[in-house]
Chains A and B, each alone.
Chain A
Amino acid sequence: MPADFNWAIGGEAGDGIDSTGKIFAQALSRAGRHVFTSKDFASRIRGGYTAYKVRTSVDQVQSVVDRLDVLIALTPRTIDENLDELHEGSVIVYDGERTSMQNVEIPEGMIGLDVPLKSLAEEAGGAIMRNVVALGAACEVTNFPIENLDSALEKRFGSKGQKLVDNNKEAARAGQNYVADEYDHEFDYDLDTTDNDYVLLNGDEAIGMGAIAAGCRFYAGYPITPATNVMEYLTGRIEQYGGHVIQAEDELSAINIALGAARAGARSMTATSGPGIDLMAETFGLIATSETPLVICDVMRSGPSTGMPTKQEQGDLNMALFGGHGEIPRFVVAPTSVSECFWKTVEAFNLAEKYQTPVYILSDLAMAVTEQTFPPEAFDMDAVEIERGNVVDDDTIDEWQNEKGQFKPHALAEDGISPRAFPGTSGGAHMSTGLEHDELGRRTEDTDMRVQQVDKRNKKVETAQEREDWSPREFGNPDSDQLVITWGSNEGTIVEAMGFLEEEGVDIRLLSVPYLFPRPDLSEEINDADDVVVVECNESGQFADVLEHDALRRVKRVNKYNGVQFKADELAEDIKETLEA
């Protein structure tokens, strides 16, 4: 169990909660501490409440927990919303001069620090810096060297001029000094620093960075929460490598623009969320039958329909596995952590080009908005390999032409993998279509050719199953009779939950599955275990369903669909209860 510390700032949407939280997370990261952040939107009451939570430790942290040590409360509701997580000794920083906070009651056993955030900020140069005053106060409470906060402030405001940076530093010190002078309380928290260098990023950024590393040069998208950050990350960066980002008029267009770029030979992608993936499903079949390598990222959010756009859910698995009419060969990968968002994106591009299929990356909101620290080597660019598959050029094209010199883009190759000729290749002119076609890509309704082309496309999946490594990630005790299986962003939470379970004498084996199609055959593991629990953030247990189908055995399920990701301590209880049931 890491000696962790949990901090949050909460208020109304528009209070600058996110940017303040990010600055504190950055300060901790620059101090060589690990960080795992989460965003909390109204969970109990409807309205504009929002909070940014930071869990930090000198050891790696990869989950949120149900505990809060220091809370900066800009509104009374922030305290109400977090009552369950606050505990005896928790510190609540608030501005008693704020009208709404004048009569605020600090729950018994907790320490209320009344700091005139706004007044101190005004003295330092502007009321807008009141949250930074609060950060300074937090530094004092946690015995955290304020120079780290300075460094984060420089990163955040440096481009806007030294004056603004200096004002913010002054505001932070005003908060720090106020607490030091006015309270002679001894606080229990000590945020040690280390010499480690960490980078701090979220899942959407990791996907965007993975795309550039993998040679993706073209992105077409339509803004949608929580996938927009992928597009925003690429914009301004991909151009430096000769690429381009285009904002389409809708998702129907976005996926087809991306498809066009892929037909021209670019590594191309689009990213969206549930409502957008519904529109894109129109084109899923075309991508597969025209054998176009395309990466489609679905950053899942709570559905159906508009659902809860800023809430977590893993509800689109069935859509990724089965979406689109007819039968569509495809690959579905699901990163299991922020760093894996990077690596699975790299892998998705290789799979797409080697097998000329659509590859779906299923990410989710919890990863998309989580800022997490990693050593930079976690993104070792030298380890990125690019495999483009069977691409022919002017010299090799004749191997794939018929006796009339016509190029065969859908040649019935033994392993199912036909050649690609990028437009511009001499003698490679050919057509591709969503109609069933022959080897030349021309429409056919010939019964034999239909069967051969369907089999050929499916053969690519079989070939990939043989050639690639589809293993799950394994944690815990490999000999345990109690098997927990999960996918997506839950991995880190369960790994931490295992710590809590261990304390209660419960010992589990965890398989975290990043490949959902093709997926590893887990029937042996499932049938050998006494109990099997499948953990996922949806109501019906979509992954549990496919595992039952694979293994022909019923499994137990832990599902959460209230819009909030699992928390390690809470999940430990759920797993224990489910195992015992």
Chain B
Amino acid sequence: MSSEVRFTDFKSDKQPTWCPGCGDFGTMNGMMKALAETGNDPDNTFVVAGIGCSGKIGTYMHSYALHGVHGRALPVGTGVKLANPNLEVMVAGGDGDGYSIGAGHFVHAVRRNVDMTYVVMDNRIYGLTKGQASPTSREDFQTSTTPEGPKQPPVNPMALALAAGATFIAQSFSSDALRHQEIIQKAIEHDGFGFVNTFSPCVTFNDVDTYDYFRDSLVDLQDTDHDSSDFDAAKDKILDSSKEYMGVIYQEEDSVSYEQQHGVTENMSEIPDGAPDDAMDLVREFY
């Protein structure tokens, strides 16, 4: 069936209500294309969406999906994948969902290394609540709740991920459709937790981190001699505050997923009609 799947099969018939020009359109298109390209179809794909503008993605895509509690998308994705490892699990949310309210889960999802893909649609602003500082907003970024700027350094999500033992760290830009899709595809194919921070500009509330800004400043790692399997090289790129990079920054080639480590292989939805045949053994243990 997968050979017949087109990326539009992953599109629902619901029209997005994102602002015209929102980066999330491009982010979602790349995700759908990458899913189709990697041989998935809507019936074996599970999308978990966070809360915020980005969280609407679950409605606009066609697949099995859950749009849950703010910040908890990664735990939901973890449960889905472990209960049925045959499913392709993709988690998508915003920078607030992932790095603020869900930051604790982010760190632990990274170190757990469950085989799923996590796309953070990073616009460096809270859009749905109409323009407040996010954890990735710049130190001097003025908003309704931070009139003089947050006066604290933005979170460096890739550094967090690297410190937590990430096996796949990448950054993409929604407007660079081809590269964005390629990078997501690599994250899907990665055996473990594929983390992609995707710059997905907010055209309504963020006049600093704009399309023009990213177009002008992003350095594509594929145009450099960067070796993504080199931890130290990755660390240098991630901690380099003078530049923003795009591409696969780090990938541990011999990554072993949580499921493999723990021998989680079964589709747990299939159970017998009654207690297991040898269940009385469980009782006899208490003699």
Instruction: Using CB atoms and an 8 Å cutoff, list the residues of chain A in contact with chain B.
Output: 29-30, 197-201, 205, 209, 212-215, 217-218, 220, 237, 239, 241-244, 246, 248-250, 252-254, 256-268, 282-283, 286, 290, 376, 379, 381-382, 384-386, 404, 422-435, 442-443
**Chain B residues with CB under 8 A of A426:** 43
Residues of B within 8 A of A404 (CB): 13
Residue among B63, B64, B77, B80 with max Cβ neighbours from chain A (10 Å): B64
Whole-angstrom CA separation of A307 from B102 in the bound complex: 28
Q: Is the CB of A386 within 8 A of B273?
A: yes
Known contacts A283-B69, A381-B280; can you find 12 more A-B pairs with CB under 8 A? Answer: A218-B83, A242-B268, A246-B78, A256-B68, A256-B75, A261-B83, A286-B68, A376-B283, A423-B64, A425-B43, A431-B58, A434-B68
Instruction: Give chain B residues whose Cβ lies under 8 Å from the Cβ of A267.
Output: 268, 271
> Which B residues from 38 to 72 make CB contacts under 8 A with A?
42-48, 58-59, 62-69, 71-72
Smallest beta-carbon distance A354→chain B, Å: 14
* Interface pair B108/A249, CB less than 8 Å apart: yes
Q: Which residue of B lies closest to A284 (CB)?
A: B69
With A265-B83, A429-B64 as given contacts, are A423 and B44 in contact (CB-CB < 8 Å)?
yes
Give A371 Cβ to nearest chain B Cβ, in Å.
Answer: 9
Q: A264 to chain B: which residues have CB within 8 Å? A: 46, 79-81, 83-84, 87, 268-269
**CB pair A386 B274 closer than 8 Å:** yes
Closest chain B residue to A282 by CB distance?
B69
Measured between beta carbons, the chain A residues less than 8 angstroms from B44 are 423-424
Would you call B266 an interface residue if the criterion is a C-beta within 8 Å of the partner chain's C-beta atoms? yes
Shortest distance between the CB of B59 and any CB in chain A (Å) = 6
Q: B42 to chain A: which residues have CB within 8 Å?
A: 429
**Contact among A249, A290, A443 with B59 in the assembled complex (CB-CB below 8 Å):** A443
Q: In this complex, what residue of B is CB-closest to A384?
A: B275
Q: Is the CB of A259 within 8 A of B272?
A: no
| With A200-B286, A263-B66 as contacts: A385 and B274 at CB distance below 8 Å | yes
Of B72, B80, B264, B274, the contact of A384 (CB 8 Å cutoff):
B274
Which residues from chain B contact A381 at a C-beta distance below 8 Å? 274-276, 279-280, 282-283
Interface residues on B, range: 35 or more
Query: Which 9 A-B residue pairings sit nearest by Cβ, starting from the closest?
Result: A260-B79, A265-B269, A256-B75, A199-B286, A261-B83, A215-B271, A266-B268, A264-B83, A266-B83
Interface string of B71-98 (1 = CB under 8 A from A): 1101111111111101100000000000
Judging by beta carbons under 8 Å apart, are A213 and B68 in contact?
no
Q: State whether the Cβ of B105 lies closer than 8 Å to any Cβ in chain A.
A: yes
**Bound state CA distance, A248 and B114, in angstroms?**
13
Given known A-B contacts A243-B268, A381-B280, A260 and B59 have beta carbons under 8 A apart: no
Contact among B13, B62, B82, B263 for A218, CB-based, below 8 A:
B82
Please determine whether B271 and A376 come into contact, CB atoms closer than 8 angstroms: no
16 inter-chain pairs at a CB distance below 8 angstroms, sorted by A residue, are A218-B79, A220-B75, A241-B276, A249-B105, A250-B104, A253-B108, A257-B75, A257-B79, A261-B82, A265-B83, A265-B269, A404-B13, A429-B45, A431-B66, A435-B67, A443-B59
Q: Within 8 Å CB of B13, what residues of A?
A: 404
What is the CB-to-nearest-CB distance from B197 to chain A, in angstroms, rounded to a whole number? 21
Q: Which residues of A contact B284 (CB under 8 A)?
A: 199, 376
- Nearest-Cβ distance from residue B217 to partner chain A, whole angstroms: 34
Partner of B282, one of A237, A253, A425, A433: A237
Query: In the complex, how many angstroms separate the beta carbon of B6 from the nearest chain A beta carbon?
Result: 15
Q: Which among B267, B269, B272, B283 has the highest number of chain A CB atoms within 10 Å? A: B269
Q: How far is the CB of A381 from chain B (nearest CB, A)?
A: 4
Quick check: A423 and B105 within 8 Å, CB to CB?
A: no
A429 touches B79 (CB 8 A): no
CA distance A423 to B268 in the complex (A): 12
| B243 at the binding interface (Cβ < 8 Å) | no
Closest to A260 in B: B79
Asked whether, in the complex, the Cβ of A201 is within 8 Å of the Cβ of B286, the reply is yes
In angstroms, Cα B65 to Cα A430, docked, is: 6
Are A433 and B275 interface neighbours, CB within 8 A? no
Residues of chain A within 8 A of B276, CB atoms compared: 212-213, 241, 381
Most buried by A among B71, B104, B105, B282: B282
Task: Tell whether, in the assembled complex, residue A260 and residue B75 are in contact, meaning their CB atoms are under 8 Å apart.
Answer: yes
Q: How far is the CB of A26 from chain B (nearest CB, A)?
A: 9
Chain A nearest CB, measured from B206 CB (Å): 25
Instruction: Return chain A residues, CB-CB under 8 Å to B76.
Output: 256-257, 259-260, 263
Q: Is the C-beta of B130 less than 8 angstroms from some C-beta in chain A? A: no
| Contact of A205 with B286 at beta-carbon distance under 8 Å, contacts A215-B271, A386-B271, A427-B43 already known | yes
A258 to B67, CA, bound (A): 15
Give the complex CA separation of A386 and B287 in angstroms: 26
Q: How far is the CB of A438 from chain B (nearest CB, A)?
A: 11
Q: Which residues of A contact B66 (CB under 8 A)?
A: 259-260, 263, 290, 431-433
Q: How far is the CA of A461 from the CA of B142 in the complex (A)?
A: 50
Contact A209 B283, CB 8 Å, known A261-B82, A431-B58, A435-B67:
yes
